[in-house]
């Protein structure tokens, strides 16, 4: 980037599709560039269901890498699944 270029970062949340659509747009002397990004997220309960369908069981869930308690207010989580012995 230079003083003659502009970077626009735009995003749209589509909660019904559990998706975030992002576009990084550059405007400058070299023209216009667009880099689209689509992020699809899943809730912990959905991950548990997918794991169960795959034959895995949940071993642990924490509110982060520090192994803090996972609560409804947690903004992230770490979940460990294992195959049956």
* pLDDT mean over 4-25: 95
> Phi-psi bin for 77: left (phi > 0), alpha (psi -120 to 50), beta?
beta
* Contact (CB, 8 A) for 23 and 37: yes
**Is the overall model pTM greater than 0.85, yes or no?**
no
The pLDDT tens digits for 22-61 are 999 999 988 999 999 999 999 999 999 999 999 999 999 9
Question: What is the C-alpha separation between 28 and 7, in angstroms, rounded?
Answer: 9
The pLDDT tens digits for 50-82 are 999 999 999 999 999 999 999 999 999 999 999
Task: Give the pLDDT of residue 4.
Answer: 82
- Residue 18: C-alpha distances to residues 10, 40, 46, 73 (Å): 17, 6, 12, 19
Instruction: List every span in the chain annotated with CATH 2.20.25.570.
Output: 1-41
Of 2.20.25.570, 2.40.50.40, 3.40.710.10, 3.60.21.10, the CATH number of 1-41 is 2.20.25.570
> Phi-psi bin for 36: left (phi > 0), alpha (psi -120 to 50), beta?
beta
């Amino acid at each position: 980037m230079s003083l003659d270029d502009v970077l626009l970062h735009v995003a749209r949340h589509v909660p019904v599709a559990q998706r975030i659509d992002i576009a990084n747009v550059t405007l400058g002397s070299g023209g216009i560039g667009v880099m689209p990004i689509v992020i699809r997220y899943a809730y912990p309960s959905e991950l548990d269901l997918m794991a169960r369908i795959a034959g895995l069981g949940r071993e642990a869930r924490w509110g982060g890498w520090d192994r803090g308690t996972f609560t409804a207010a947690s903004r992230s989580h770490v979940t460990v699944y294992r195959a049956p012995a």
